[in-house]
Amino acid sequence: MGATGQNVLCGLEDGPSGSELAREGLFTAAMACQAGRIVGLVHRGSSVPAGDTPDPPDRFRPAADGWNPPVDRRAAASGAQRELYDAVRADAALMGALAGLTEASRQAPRAPVHGGLRLDRFHLHASGLRLAGGTRLRSADPAQDIGAFVGEWLDRSLRAADGAGTGAAGPAAPAGEHEAERAYRCCAAFWNGYRATLDTDEGLAGRAVGYAGRHLLDRALAESGGRARPRVPDRAAVGLARRILLAPEAFGEALGLTAPGWEAVLLPAAGRYRAG
């Protein structure tokens, strides 16, 4: 890939991970800005390793027989996973939005993307953050990596507002508010760091917002494994994902990809779905 991209990836995973730092409240906006710069350097690379592969199949991919996510191909899928999947499949507007995101992504400028971006892929070393796990590096829409970072913080804020997934309202609310504000600051700093490394196409922020919404669907399915019924935060994630995917242009500001406004979506959504 050259000095602008591949050299920011490391194979070592020593040092505390970004997810560990986030759990302890130690992942700062400055770290998020550095993470954005690192991802921008990856995306700025001019090529990908041999064996470049196309985008992986969509978890909610349109197919001749309807929707065909992995949950439908696993005999061990839980009742909660099937319930959430059926709800998405029955929602024509949401299915259309997912298909529209996929099509917009196919038409977008491509770049080398990490393909497995998560907070636990970042590790703190003496020299700063390093990004591990470049084995899935491929040519794809860079919005996928950005949306994965934003979506993970969004999911964290929803679950913190719901008492870390307990479904209990009350004392968890202040913690949820703090996590929501921290999520906004980290997402905004990531975006600013990213844009400092390269020029972005006009539709990148909107597609990244869409992928953040899709990340919420992925997490809701994953968190519902082994459960008979979906928990409150998983239903909340699906509900918020729907709002985001149906109107991504309305959420860029709230998710830190333009200007301040985190209160507009994170706290009201968490409270609304916790009560429901």
pLDDT attached to residue 45? 83
Specify the pLDDT at position 264: 42
* pLDDT of 151: 96
| pLDDT of 184 | 93
Q: What is the mean pLDDT of residues 271-276?
A: 34
70-81 pLDDT per residue, tens: 665 556 788 999
Residue with the larger pLDDT of the pair 64 and 254: 254
pLDDT at 175: 59
- Region 26-55: mean pLDDT is 79
Query: Mind listing the pLDDT tens digit for each residue in 185-216?
Result: 999 999 999 999 999 998 999 999 999 999 99
Q: Which has more confidence, 149 or 85?
A: 149
Name which of 142, 166, 270 is nearest 223 in CA terms: 166
Q: Does the pLDDT value for residue 247 go beyond 70? A: yes
